[in-house]
Copies of this chain bind each other. A is one copy, B any other.
Amino acid sequence: MYIVCPDLEGILVPEIWISVAEKTGIEELLLTTRDVPDYDQLMKRRLEILKRAKLRIRDIQRIIQSMDPLDGAMAFLDWLRDRFQLIVVSDTFVEFADPILRKLNRPTLFCNSLVIDPDGTIVDYQLRQRDGKRCVVKALKGLGFKVIAIGDSYNDTTMLSEANEGTLFRPPENIKREFPQFTVIGTYEELKAELARYLEQGR
User: What residues of chain A have their CB less than 8 Å away from a CB belonging to chain B?
Assistant: 1, 81-82, 85-87, 94, 102, 105-110, 113, 128-129, 132, 135-136, 139-140, 142-145, 203
Which residues of the other chain, B, contact A106 by a CB distance below 8 angstroms? Answer: 81-82, 105
Docked Cα-Cα span, A55 to B6, in Å, equals 38
**Partner of A132 from B81, B135, B144 at Cβ < 8 Å:** B144
- Asked if residues A142 and B139 are in contact (CB atoms below 8 Å), the reply is yes
- What is the chain B residue whose CB lies nearest that of A81? B106
- Asked if residues B108 and A87 are in contact (CB atoms below 8 Å), the reply is yes
Docked Cα-Cα span, A81 to B139, in Å, equals 22
5 closest A-B pairs by CB: A128-B144, A139-B139, A81-B106, A108-B108, A129-B144
Docked Cα-Cα span, A110 to B145, in Å, equals 9
Which residues of the other chain, B, contact A110 by a CB distance below 8 angstroms? Answer: 85, 143
